[in-house]
Amino acid sequence: MKQLYILLFALFVSLPSIAQSNYQPGYILMADGNKQVGQLDYKSDRQHARHISFRSNSEATPVRYNPNELVGYGFEEGKRYESANVMGPDSLPQQSFLEVLVKGGSSLYFMKTEESNDRFFIRKNNEPLQELTQEKRRIEAESGAKYTTTLKHYIGTLNYLFLDCPTVQPQLERTKLEQASLIKLVSAYNTCTAPQQEQYVKAAKSGLVIEKGLTIGATMTNTSFSSGNYFSFFYLENSEIAASVDFSGGLFLNIGATKINENFRLHTGAMFYRYSGAGNFERHQSAEQYDKFHYDFEASYLKVPLMVRYTLPGKKLQPYLNAGLQNGFLLSGSSHVEKESKWHERTTIDSEKMFSELRFYEQGLQAGLGVQMPYYKENNLNVELRYEKNNGFSPYKNIRHVNQVASVLLGMSF
């Protein structure tokens, strides 16, 4: 297991450096109006608001730009940003990059703050930028009862700005302070007031994203037993069991709600997994009196992981972390022990099941570190190192069974 820990640690240390190289085709707009085409470093929404790194090609040295140095920038197949002056957390104006959600007669902008708060801004024609806000306020009624209400200031702002299009008023009252809802409203207003004018609208994300694929790999299982005062199984606790190296494979699903957070996924699936083990133990009281034990076992499972996956932003190499539960359902298994006993001139050999039955449901905790990369259109390849600790197949409370499983997994989505 020491080698596994070293590999996991090395991968963890390397994640920041891997995540630093996520350059995608894009452009920057200089203050003098010049447009330069090249590659932009794809990062998180928070980082995109503060700065952007640009290089003319893969061999060039990257240059980092702040909001006061550019008019804006954009990815060839993705987000667009404009530099704007907004109120900072210290109530002082600061220059930031705002993501363009809608660009037209009325333009809608978004920014993710350092505190991971969502801020929205709107500009009608060439008027000053206005922030769309809401606040929660604690109210005390005349009866003395206290409750919390949400004051939707943004509804009043939008009502005033959109007075010249009565047809959007019913939709406006239902609008939430969220990207999808605001994009729908502002684009509808632009169509209402200037139907011939072209407008940019950020492509909507689907509510649910499901990635499916195949996984194969190798597992190394270290098994241990502890019997406490349960004398009948002392040979398990006092003998060494060699690690079991086996094949594993199956299907996986990564399920995400991109409207909530595009970096988190629920990772699940169905995997075939097996392991086996054997051991020997001898107890000598004299040359004429001893007990020798030889035992072996094997088990095969259908495993269903339930894990949360976090993927670092990027579109070429994307490091990710998994953590959660592993659920194992016994498909087949056996356990056998042979005892040879000698008492002076008499020698007996007994053979029986080690456990009369094996536990059907196995449960454990697991975590993994991996990297995925695109290989064809929206499909990905990934490699992952995973560690699991579970409670094995012992059906007896007095016999504690622990498996520690190290896996190297290769996956391919389709």
Query: Model confidence over 190-228: pLDDT tens digits?
Result: 999 999 999 999 986 656 788 999 999 999 999 999 876
Query: Model confidence over 94-126: pLDDT tens digits?
Result: 999 999 999 999 999 999 887 768 899 999 998
Measure the CA–CA gap between 77 and 91, rounded to whole angstroms.
35
Widest CA span in the chain: 109
- What domains are defined for the chain? 24-201 (no CATH), 209-413 (2.40.160)
What residues does 26 pair with on adjacent strands? 38, 75
Measure the CA–CA gap between 58 and 89, rounded to whole angstroms.
36
Classify each residue of 163-176 as buried b or exposed e, where b means 16 or more C-beta atoms within 10 Å of its C-beta.
Answer: eebeebeeebeebe
Query: Rounded to two decimals, what is the model's pTM?
Result: 0.62
- Return the structure tokens found at 239: 């003998």
- Return the structure tokens found at 305: 């992981």
DSSP letters for 365-382: EEEEEEEEEEEETTEEEE
Place of tokens 């404009």: 82
Q: What pLDDT is attached to residue 377? A: 64
What is the H or E stretch that residue 325 is in? strand 318-343
Query: Model confidence over 277-313: pLDDT tens digits?
Result: 999 999 888 878 999 999 999 999 999 999 999 988 6
222 and 404 in contact (C-beta within 8 Å)?
A: yes
Q: What pLDDT is attached to residue 19? A: 46
The ranges of the chain with pLDDT < 70 are 1-21, 116, 204-207, 228-231, 258-261, 313-316, 377-378
Q: What pLDDT is attached to residue 183? A: 95
